[in-house]
Structure 1
Amino acid sequence: MTGDEVAIERPAAVSVGDLENGAARLVSFSGEIDLGTAPELGDVVSQETADALAVVLDLTGVTFLDSAGVRLLDTLVGAAESRGCVMKLVAPEHGVARFTLTLCAFRSDLLESTVARAVASLN
């Protein structure tokens, strides 16, 4: 995987790289996804994945996820699905992101516990 990392003003970052010979993109988040960071993170992800056939959003490094972050993830999934792109979210079983997504009744069919499982589920 190759990719660039974009630091956002608050303690958040996103890196984007290719998976499976460029047919899929891996987007790895770290830090906080909240009202202050979600808009800019969303812009970066939307721009970097616009032509992808499949996207894996890795939330393993997320240390805080609020309702604005959940709304961002829902928006990204909706935009991907509307253009025929398959999207999976990686949220480890005992991580912050999984807790928040479960609490918000986020679509469990999109959640995987590791990047490897998410990539395998794309096929």
Structure 2
Amino acid sequence: MTVRQDPAPLTRHLRVRDDRGRTVLRFHGEIDLAAADEIAPLLDRATARPGARVVLDLSGITFLDASGLRLLTRARNRVLDEGGELHLVCSHPLTLRVLRITGLARLLPPRATLDEVMGGPGPA
């Protein structure tokens, strides 16, 4: 049995991998101003391609402030401006509450799991 592993993190807050034709960005830890500064260039690179298919996976975060919300909004705008698609994975109750209160959940509806976005479990 083969176990799929994420590649080494590009920063302590972000791992990026390709999965079934999509770029999956998995966020980790606290996404605050310092983390956003580390993440922004990598996020910009992943969302710059025309027609990019991107998944922002927040299942590994423990905190998200306004800087993190700006990252999500920036990614959404960049991907949609280039004719791509963007999905958000988030099930943490406090983060979901912040997304709803700010209205971002209407613009970028969160899915509970990565499998829900990807259409089922990936290869073993």
Question: In structure 2, do the counterparts of structure 1 residues 24 and 15 end up closer, same or farther at CA, with 3 Å as the change threshold?
Answer: same
Higher relative contact order (CA 8 A, sep 6+): 2
Consecutive unaligned residues in structure 2, runs of 5 or more: 120-124
Other-structure match for 2:14: 14
> Helix, strand or coil: the match of 1:7?
coil
TM superposition shift of 1:39: 2.4
Consecutive unaligned residues in structure 1, runs of 5 or more: none
In terms of fraction of residues, the more strand-rich structure is: 1
Q: Is the 8 A contact 2:48 2:78 kept in 1?
A: no
> Helix, strand or coil: the match of 2:10?
strand
TM-score calculated relative to the size of structure 2: 0.80
Aligned residues with identical type, % of pairs: 28
Tell which structure's C-alpha radius of gyration is larger: 2
TM-score calculated relative to the size of structure 1: 0.80
What RMSD over aligned residues (CA atoms) do the two structures have, in Å? 1.9
Which one of 46, 49, 55 corresponds to residue 48 of structure 1?
46
Q: How does 1:55-70 map to 2 (within 5 A)?
A: 55-70=54-69
